[in-house]
A and B are shown apart, each in its own frame.
Chain A
């Protein structure tokens, strides 16, 4: 790649410039595209290697259907709550008239928290909301509130929701603050001059402009939690029935008893996160028209 391209007569110019990205293309093929193709093709192959739709049809069992449904529900709820809370915090910092000094630390902390996912995050929540956690014990001794008796269990669906929000909210803050900054002061002033109330300004000017970025970020948060394995695994172990955990168990020990069904399970994940991300990219391009 670092060699000077060999000189050819102008007529016979080979596309030597393309050789410069050959290492990158090779890397992407070997470690990104071919492995994914292997999964996608495997989803449509019978154990003997012929084309079949049987694997996808076989996904339609109670256990797998409920795993997908739980995963989708989990991703929808954490994305929705993450967007709502993240938006509230970002709006508070950008428009709420808070001291300017808060913004920088909040962004830095969001950068840290959005990367503090996986196994340690699960430990942090077990130490806080687990059976012997700080908040659990405090509520019990000070107020006599027994979280467990009230039906809250950290090692369950809602426990996972509370934990996932720790990386979903900061991601929302990181993405939405630049979008909020892009709302021009002139738009608000123009609306006020024309007699709009604050609610009307938000409903008819700001919200429609922000809508593509909000929806786009929602899609990104959805994909973010749909593919997450480590946090859920460290929190609940292999028993919680969500797709990434099921796939993890399948890769380790073929719990479905059919390797090609594993491919189909993974293929389903690609389809869902792929759709979410395409939504994100399309909406992001649309929102950038306004926020230049």
Chain B
């Protein structure tokens, strides 16, 4: 009896999740009348704006990941090693981006960093790009910090540091050659999740007026019929790839550890 209910709950749930995926795939293939074709995808790939905005978002994602790693790894390491009393405060701060909606944060940026402020970041395109990267780093902070901190928990930070120090390593060497390789899996998980968040982000990019992939998709959606579902299929594939890569690196590391 329970089993029948269980199957029913699972199958109904799966139906709900599969229908939109089937819907977008089918619709994206219907551009040519009467037959299924990849015309919508061709149209999307021929559009130079697609490549420009996609490249822009990819670049920003890369910048966000590099900045996030440089910010989070030393901080999480230092807090574990020297400042355990600061942990609750730091953890609270890293959770704030889940509490404050992204639209509110970017509203604050626009008002705080306008052209007549102490740091006129929105005055130039490059400055706005930096501001957007910082915004993305903020959005990714909860996930990045949690991932790295969990990674640090599995290694003995204090012993590794002392061993490295007694061999004459400075702080930079310790971080770059001891700590980072040891939490690489966690860092990669955080990085792929950051990529998944940044690549299609709409609100911040639209309000800061930057030519990112999210606003491009929205604009296309308002004006075309068949390209938007094709974009949705592409975006879904990217999200899926990011999550798959996270699983892959995690599994790989377990395998490595089991061998050791």
Closest chain-B Cβ to A63's Cβ sits at a distance in Å of 18
B19: Cβ under 8 A from any A Cβ: yes
Q: Are A169 and B13 in contact (CB under 8 A)?
A: yes
Q: Mark A1-30, 1 if CB is under 8 A from B, else 0.
A: 111100000000000011011011001101
Q: What size tier do the contact residues of chain B reach? A: 35 or more
**Chain A residues near B108 (CB-CB < 8 A):** 34-39
Q: Mark A259-279, 1 if CB is under 8 A from B, else 0.
A: 000100010011001100100
**Are A89 and B171 CB-contacts (below 8 A) given A112-B240, A119-B218?**
no
**Chain A residues near B79 (CB-CB < 8 A):** 20-21
**Chain B residues near A23 (CB-CB < 8 A):** 71, 74-75
Q: Are A89 and B5 in contact (CB under 8 A)?
A: no
A49: Cβ under 8 A from any B Cβ: no
Closest chain-B Cβ to A172's Cβ sits at a distance in Å of 11
Please indicate which of the listed interface residues B20, B203, B244 has the most CB atoms of chain A within 10 Å of its own CB.
Answer: B20
A127: Cβ under 8 A from any B Cβ: yes
**Are A166 and B171 CB-contacts (below 8 A) given A98-B10, A123-B231?**
no
**Chain A residues near B23 (CB-CB < 8 A):** 124-125, 127-129, 133-135
B167: Cβ under 8 A from any A Cβ: no
Q: Are A273 and B221 in contact (CB under 8 A)?
A: no
Q: Are A119 and B99 in contact (CB under 8 A)?
A: no
Q: Are B6 and A98 in contact (CB under 8 A)?
A: yes
Q: Are B221 and A247 in contact (CB under 8 A)?
A: no
Expressed in whole angstroms, the Cα–Cα distance for A137 and B208 within the complex equals 39
Q: Are B17 and A31 in contact (CB under 8 A)?
A: no
**Chain A residues near B239 (CB-CB < 8 A):** 112, 115-116
Interface residues in A33-75 by Cβ distance below 8 A to B read 33-39, 42
Q: Are A92 and B9 in contact (CB under 8 A)?
A: yes
Interface residue ranges, A against B (CB under 8 Å)? 1-4, 17-18, 20-21, 23-24, 27-28, 30-39, 42, 85, 88-89, 91-93, 95-98, 102, 106, 108-109, 111-113, 115-116, 118-129, 132-135, 165-166, 169, 223, 226-227, 229-230, 233-234, 237, 244, 247-248, 251-252, 262, 266, 269-270, 273-274, 277, 281
Task: Give the top 8 A-B pairs by smallest Cβ distance, nearest first.
Answer: A96-B6, A35-B108, A128-B23, A227-B101, A127-B27, A230-B202, A92-B6, A120-B235
Interface residue ranges, B against A (CB under 8 Å)? 2-3, 5-7, 9-10, 13, 16-17, 19-24, 26-28, 71-72, 74-75, 78-79, 82-83, 86, 90, 93, 95-112, 119, 134-135, 137-138, 141, 170-172, 175, 193, 196-197, 200-203, 206-207, 214, 217-218, 221-222, 228-229, 231-232, 235-236, 239-240, 242-244, 246-247
Q: Given contacts A113-B17, A124-B24, could you give 12 more A-B pairs where the C-beta distance is less than 8 Å?
A: A32-B97, A32-B105, A35-B112, A38-B112, A93-B10, A96-B10, A98-B7, A133-B23, A223-B98, A233-B218, A234-B218, A237-B222
